[in-house]
A and B are shown apart, each in its own frame.
Chain A
Amino acid sequence: MTSGTDPTGPRPGDAGVLTRDVSLWQIFQGFLWISVRAWGGGAGTTFVMQQDLVRRGWITPGQFALDWGLSRIVPGINLLAMSVMVGYRLAGTSGALLGITGLMLPASIITVILTVGFVELTQQPIGIAAVKGAVAVTAAMTYALALDNARGVMPRDNPRILIPMLLFTTSCFLAVAVLHLSAAMAIILGGVFGAIFLRPPEAGEKT
């Protein structure tokens, strides 16, 4: 699924787009479809987004991982920033606007409908049970996404890069999960760490 035109596979820093000539209507429709199917909060939405966008060739898993990180330093909901980034790469500013509109529209309408009818919903024990089941699946989706992103980004054939990346990922997990480091800080530290330790060597060696 990560096969691009580059035989070594996509790496973060590639434009990360495998398709050309995606129409504005397709972008709008694509994000509309993600929005309708993306139940399960932010993690569920991230998972559906990655699955759909990669299947369409609109983004590589590596670029998705990078964008997801970059989107954390944009103010507001990071997945909306991601729809802007993906839409912009596919079709410029109009693509960005249609991407975010497509993602917002169905989810917003459903949110309003749920707000109106919420009291009835939570009085049903079956409804509560369904939500509990969905929460457990959401946890699984988050791990699956992390694994898929790692497969897309980490160069298995290059230990000089792979080992520090794995070490940083593990430290980042511990710092955020145990020490409650903020997400934005983790991303900034990742950028600094990478600029120093994960840069490709000067001409000659393939990275």
Chain B
Amino acid sequence: MSLVELFLVFLKAVMLSSGGLQALPILLDDLTVQRSVLTYGDFATAVAIGRIAPGPNGLFVISIGYYIAGLVGAIIGAIALSLPPLLAIGLVRAHQRLANRPWVVGMTRGIASASIGLLTALGYNFTVPLIPQPASVAIMLVALAVLIALRADALVVLGGGALVAIGLYFVGVPLA
């Protein structure tokens, strides 16, 4: 598989997706099922790394690039991820031009309402797998209280959660 072909496969997957994880089934089909350049195991590992790494979801494309073509593949993945979001410039310009029309004001309120519903649904999806383990639910609730009441820094809360989890591991409390 040539580097140009790899770039085009990445670009197609990113162009056809909205949100990082939607590119996943497209890439799985292209690289694992049709071209057999990546095993299911490598694919799963790449996705797991993408989840652990900082930054937005979807950087697993960089890991996949690395698995297929080393550092150059990783760079190709990063470029393919970065190009389509530049289309957002057109959206900002259109919005700025129309911002004062009543229907646009209404529309932006509707979109913001949908965003809040989507965020809550995302939180719900994260919460469901935690429910079987009370300790995980407790970490989540304490973190939520700290974030809302103290406006604590995100990284501090994240580090705190990780440290508590390590402590619980030594005590033998199971986490989801």
Taking Cβ atoms with an 8 Å cutoff, the residues of A that contact B are 11-15, 35-48, 51, 62, 65-66, 68-85, 88-89, 93, 96-97, 100-101, 103-104, 106-108, 110-112, 114-116, 118, 121-122, 125-126, 129-147, 149-150, 153, 161, 165-166, 168-173, 175-177, 183-184, 186-187, 189-200, 202, 207
Contacts and interface: CB of A to CB of B under 8 A. Distances in A.
A65 B114 CA distance: 9
Tell me whether chain B's interface is mostly helix, strand or loop, or mixed.
helix
Which of B53, B56, B91, B118 has its CB near the most chain A CB atoms (within 10 A)? Answer: B56
B154 interface: yes
A41 B115 contact: no
A80 B53 contact: no
Nearest to B117: A172
B34 to A, nearest CB: 21
Given A104-B78, A172-B121, 5 more contacts: A11-B109, A45-B54, A71-B85, A133-B165, A139-B127
Interface residues of B, number: 96
B166 to A, nearest CB: 5
A54 to B, nearest CB: 11
Nearest to B99: A13
Which of B82, B111, B136 has its CB near the most chain A CB atoms (within 10 A)? Answer: B111
Contacts of B66: 112, 115-116
Contacts of A207: 105
A70 B14 CA distance: 17
Contact of A41 (B51, B81, B136): B51
A111 B49 contact: yes
A199 B86 contact: no
7 contacts: A38-B154, A51-B153, A114-B53, A136-B137, A139-B126, A143-B119, A143-B120
Interface in B1-37: 14-20, 23
A186 B114 contact: yes
Closest CB pairs A-B (n = 7): A194-B110, A133-B165, A107-B55, A190-B114, A172-B117, A199-B106, A137-B161
A144 B148 contact: yes
A47 B74 CA distance: 26
A49 to B, nearest CB: 9
A80 B109 contact: no
B85 A189 contact: no
Interface string B144-168: 1001100001110110111111101
Given A104-B78, A115-B66, A75 B15 contact: yes
B139 A133 contact: yes
B91 A74 contact: yes
Contact of A130 (B63, B71, B111, B162): B162
A76 B15 contact: yes
B68 to A, nearest CB: 11
Given A112-B74, A183-B18, A176 B117 contact: yes
A198 B49 CA distance: 42
Given A76-B81, A77-B19, A191 B155 contact: no
A84 B115 contact: no
A115 B46 contact: yes
A153 B115 CA distance: 11
A118 B15 CA distance: 28
A108 B62 contact: yes
B83 to A, nearest CB: 8
Nearest to A207: B105
